[in-house]
Amino acid sequence: MRKSTNTDRANMAKLIPPLSILGGLVIWELFVKISGYPAFILPAPSRIAQRFVSAAKAGILWPNVWVTFYEVLLGLLIGCAAALVIGYILAHSPVAEKIVFPYVVVSQAVPLAAIAPLLIIWFGSGIRPKIVICALTVFFPLLINILVGYRELETNLSDLFTSMKAGRKARLIYLEFPGILPVLLGGLRISATLSVIGAVVGELSGADAGLGYLINISRGQYDTALVFVALIMLMVIALFMYGAVILLERKVLIWKIGGRM
Amino acid sequence: MENDTLLEARHIQMTFESKEGGLHVLEDISLTLAKNEFVCLIGPSGSGKSTLVRILGGLLEPTGGKLIYPGGREPDPRAIVFQNSNLLPWLSAADNVALPLLVQGISKKDARAEAEKWLDLFGLGGFADEWPNNLSGGMAQRVAIARALIQKPQLLLMDEPLGALDAMTREQISLELMAFRERIDATVLMVTHSISEALLLSDRILIYSGRPARIIDDMKVPFPRPRQPELRDTIEFMSMSKIIRKKIFGQES
């Protein structure tokens, strides 16, 4: 008897988050109805949903979603690869760390939104500068996580590899990469959503495609409902990226979770 | 006899630099290890025995004294069993055992087959695919010992390999080691706190004193090999362990 009330309670608890969102939407809808604000100031959720359907039908939604998604993903991959290579070099050479690290820190002190126009001057208004911005956005947090991962590798394990006379490659494959992976994936979780911000910042400073571009255009036409549609799609991309990293973690860190091979 | 020496440590000193000046961990340690000899190093904890193992294992350069290899060549491979099992948590038990072979570039298939053989020898055949996190302390340390033995080491260094285990597991593994001892050609130096472990396993016991760290006695273990566990119940065994205990505690003041 007691057990069943407990599971009932657990099921109820699972329902609370979606109900909370639903409640928020209802309040929003009612607020717009009662206050009578025009749609170009605050569109109701129902209006945003209609705009979503019409934009999708008109073919202006999915191509832009795809462009932004492509920038986010490619930027993340390039930034991650660069952080891995540079992290490896910095972790293995104190001299290189002394030479390179000031640049890394200084580059982080410059707000990315401020250098976005510069990148657009250099790389044009296509997707290339946006990929660069995404890569720059994710590079620093990933690099820091990689360096922390290296620092936390146990010296005992490193001694083991020394006693086995392991080469660089064997160390990288069996010790360093798997050893930093948990911290790297933690950084990737944050970076996956940061990358979306990078892409939008790039698109807002000059683009001919993407969700940032869509926001700029619809804002100019007071099509506020379409601005919201674009915002929601950005959220969806960010959540998708985040979820993908979580799935990857579950798969790759199975030894940590304790499951069978 | 001189030709049988694998390794000689002469007047080894080790000082770690710190802000308050040097920390003298080892002041003057000399010892020799003969080929295929099993030597136990016994003494109080916190007296630099692990540091000595790391020096003999080539992981640490001593600040004074030197290691001499009368054969002209450094013992190779040198395998080390650490105090904690030191398994890679992201590799299965079998892959941990296979690791030294994989590192040498031996194919995955061959390394894995060899590793499973060693796991079987330690009674861990059913745990090949288990993650280290799922293994008990005794199992993990057996895997670590198998990982050392698979290298067919010329010099095997063990730093209190059973120190972290409960008494029953400890005794069981020391009996397993006793059996293995007859099957491997390796010079073994094992650090231990257990007098009976040392007497059961070794040909020679070095008694170590802390602060200043030095070797105060070097005793041959008179029991013939192969040995049986029942040896521990004999009067000779008990009187030997009494003598050693006296030497260890006698020098403490």
The complex's ipTM works out to 0.90
Can you say whether the dihedral through the CA atoms of A12, A18, A24, A26 is positive or negative? negative
- Please give the order of strands across the beta sheet that includes B21-34: B21-34, B5-18, B64-68
For residue A191, pLDDT over 50 is answered with yes
Contact B154, B186 (CB under 8 A): yes
Contact B185, B217 (CB under 8 A): no
Could you list the mean pLDDT of each consecutive 10-residue stretch along chain B, which spans 253 residues? 78 86 84 93 85 92 90 86 92 96 94 95 92 93 95 94 90 90 89 92 90 85 90 93 88 49
B134 interfaces chain A, CB cutoff of 8 Å: yes
Return the minimum-mean-pLDDT range out of A6-10, A173-177, A247-251: A6-10
What pLDDT shows up at residue A161? 94
Reduced to 3 states (helix: H, G, I; strand: E, B; else coil), residue A216 is helix
Kindly give the residue spans of alpha helices, DSSP state H, lying in B4-136: 49-56, 93-103, 108-121
Rounded distance, CA B81 to CA A179, Å? 20
Nearest-by-Cβ selection for A174 from B59, B88, B151: B88
CA of B99 vs chain A CAs: smallest distance (Å)? 8
How many C-beta atoms lie closer than 10 Å to residue B228's C-beta?
A: 12
Q: What are phi and psi of B220, to 5 degrees?
A: -80, 140
Query: Nearest 10 degrees: CA dihedral of B153, B159, B161, B164?
Result: -160
A181: which chain B residues are within 8 Å (Cβ-Cβ)? Answer: 90
Architecture of domain A50-257: Orthogonal Bundle (1.10)
How many C-beta atoms lie closer than 10 Å to residue B55's C-beta?
A: 24
Contact A261 B79 (CB under 8 A): no
- Beta strands in chain A, from DSSP E residues, in sequence order: none
What pLDDT shows up at residue B76? 83
Can you say whether the dihedral through the CA atoms of B143, B146, B151, B157 is positive or negative? positive
Residue of B nearest to A155 (CA): B86
Question: Cα B156 to the chain's mean position, in Å?
Answer: 6
Q: Which two tokens mark A155?
A: 């010296």
What pLDDT shows up at residue B251? 55
Contact B99, A173 (CB under 8 A): no
What pLDDT shows up at residue B139? 95
Query: Nearest 10 degrees: CA dihedral of B157, B158, B159, B161?
Result: 170
What pLDDT shows up at residue B2? 47
Which residue's entry shows tokens 């904890």? B45
Nearest-by-Cβ selection for B78 from A156, A163, A166: A163
What digits encode the pLDDT tens for the residues A243-252? 999 999 999 8
B131: which chain A residues are within 8 Å (Cβ-Cβ)? Answer: 255, 258, 261
- Beta bridge partners of residue B23, listed in sequence order: B16
Pairing, β B64-68 against β B5-18: antiparallel
What pLDDT shows up at residue A74? 96
Contact A151, A94 (CB under 8 A): no
The type of residue at A139 is F
B58: which chain A residues are within 8 Å (Cβ-Cβ)? Answer: 162-163
Rounded distance, CA A116 to CA A121, Å? 9
Rounded distance, CA B172 to CA B93, Å? 20
Confidence class of residue A47 from pLDDT cuts 50, 70 and 90?
Answer: very high
For an interface test with B, which of A159, A163, A255, A260 has the most B Cβ atoms less than 10 Å from its Cβ? A163
Residue of A nearest to B96 (CA): A174
Q: What are phi and psi of B181, to 5 degrees?
A: -55, -35
The type of residue at A163 is S
CATH superfamily entry for domain B33-86+153-250? P-loop containing nucleotide triphosphate hydrolases (3.40.50.300)
What pLDDT shows up at residue B108? 94
Share of chain A above pLDDT 90, in %: 72
B100: which chain A residues are within 8 Å (Cβ-Cβ)? Answer: 164
Q: What are phi and psi of B137, to 5 degrees?
A: -60, -40
For residue A142, pLDDT over 80 is answered with yes
Q: Which two tokens mark B194?
A: 């257990």
Residue whose C-alpha is closest to residue A195's, from A134, A116, A121: A134
- Beta bridge partners of residue B81, listed in sequence order: B158
Contact B190, B239 (CB under 8 A): no
- Beta bridge partners of residue B22, listed in sequence order: B17
Residue of A nearest to B78 (CA): A163
CA of A152 vs chain B CAs: smallest distance (Å)? 14
B77: which chain A residues are within 8 Å (Cβ-Cβ)? Answer: 164-165
What pLDDT shows up at residue B253? 41
Kindly give the residue spans of alpha helices, DSSP state H, lying in A93-176: 94-109, 112-123, 128-152, 155-163, 168-170
Confidence class of residue A111 from pLDDT cuts 50, 70 and 90?
Answer: confident
For residue A14, pLDDT over 90 is answered with no
- What H or E segment, with its residue span, contains residue A245? helix A224-252
Contact A60, A195 (CB under 8 A): no
Contact B90 A163 (CB under 8 A): no
Rounded distance, CA A162 to CA A110, Å? 41
Contact B77 A255 (CB under 8 A): no
Contact A159 B99 (CB under 8 A): no
B102 interfaces chain A, CB cutoff of 8 Å: yes
- Beta bridge partners of residue B12, listed in sequence order: B29
For residue A255, pLDDT over 90 is answered with no
CA of B63 vs chain A CAs: smallest distance (Å)? 19
How many C-beta atoms lie closer than 10 Å to residue A30's C-beta?
A: 11
Rounded distance, CA A209 to CA A129, Å? 13
